[in-house]
């Protein structure tokens, strides 16, 4: 990976600009290589992690006695996996004949485009994922060890439970409100998660591009 990236920038980030000292030129090339390598490695790890989570939810669903919910949550991860795979392929197709500066700018644009798309997906993912968790808690056989029945059966058999259209209304209302809130905040939650994982690397990328732009003036 490193050798292939290094071969992209043999001419330096300014190519034939003689105003920049060769050592400084090489320094920024090495910084560029380090950031790109690090980001690709983190993206690959995160991609594998999401795939693992998808299958983990599927397995847990079968173990907990709620296979349909396990399948539901597994399917929720499919758009994330396919989207990430598609943009990973786009990342690999960035023109390697560019100078390191041009490559970083193109890479930064790819990153921003990917972030916008994932932000839209997570606005639906978070509320649906939470809904799956709630249904899992209500219908799982796990609670039989403590209360002798599933939680949903206990709720529905309780004479104090208010039923409307076959649903326990005082349970449904707060869940629906929370789902709506998660949908509204889904993009912001994803951005917080993104900064927690990629924040330092993204900041270094922005700083490096800014430094290069100053030197090119």
Per residue in 73-87, pLDDT (tens digit) is: 999 999 999 998 888
Kindly indicate the confidence band of residue 156, based on its pLDDT and cuts at 50, 70 and 90.
low
Rg (CA), the chain: 24
Query: What is the rounded CA–CA span in Å between residue 168 and residue 191?
Result: 34
Place of tokens 């539901």: 72
Among 5-19, 46-60, 84-98, 136-150, which range has the highest average pLDDT? 46-60
Among 3-17, 132-146, 160-174, 176-190, the minimum mean pLDDT is found in: 3-17
Non-local (6+) Cβ contacts of 33 within 8 A are 2, 5, 6, 9, 100
The answer, yes or no, to whether residue 16 has pLDDT greater than 50, is: no
The two tokens of residue 39 are 């980001």
Whole-prediction pTM: 0.75
Residue reference for tokens 């924040």: 199
Q: For the chain, count helices (H), then strands (E).
A: 7, 2
Q: Is the pLDDT of residue 133 over 50?
A: yes
| CB-CB contact of 1 with 37 (8 Å) | yes
- Average pLDDT of span 92-99: 75
User: Tell me, what's the pLDDT at 58?
Assistant: 92
Q: Where are the domains of the chain?
A: 2-216
How far is Cα 81 from Cα 48, in angstroms, rounded to an integer? Answer: 9
Indicate the pLDDT class of residue 54, thresholds 50, 70 and 90. very high
């Amino acid at each position: 990976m490193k050798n292939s990236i290094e071969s992209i920038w043999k001419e330096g980030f300014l190519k034939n600009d003689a105003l920049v000292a060769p050592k400084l030129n090489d320094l920024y090339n090495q910084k560029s290589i380090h950031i790109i390598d690090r980001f690709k490695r983190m993206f690959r790890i995160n991609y594998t992690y999401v795939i693992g989570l998808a299958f983990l939810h599927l397995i847990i669903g079968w173990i907990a006695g709620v296979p349909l919910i396990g399948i539901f949550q597994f399917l929720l991860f499919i758009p994330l996996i396919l989207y990430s795979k598609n943009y990973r392929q786009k990342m690999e197709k960035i023109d390697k004949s560019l100078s390191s500066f041009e490559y970083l700018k193109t890479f930064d644009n790819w990153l921003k485009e990917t972030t916008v798309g994932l932000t839209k997906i997570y606005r639906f993912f978070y509320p649906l994922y939470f809904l799956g968790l709630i249904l899992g808690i209500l219908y799982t056989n796990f609670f039989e060890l403590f209360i002798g029945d599933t939680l949903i059966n206990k709720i529905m058999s309780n004479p104090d439970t208010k039923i409307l259209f076959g649903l326990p209304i005082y349970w449904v209302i707060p869940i629906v409100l929370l789902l709506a809130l998660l949908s509204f905040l889904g993009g912001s939650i994803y951005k917080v998660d993104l900064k927690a994982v990629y924040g330092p690397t993204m900041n270094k990328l922005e700083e490096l591009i800014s430094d290069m732009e100053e030197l090119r003036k």
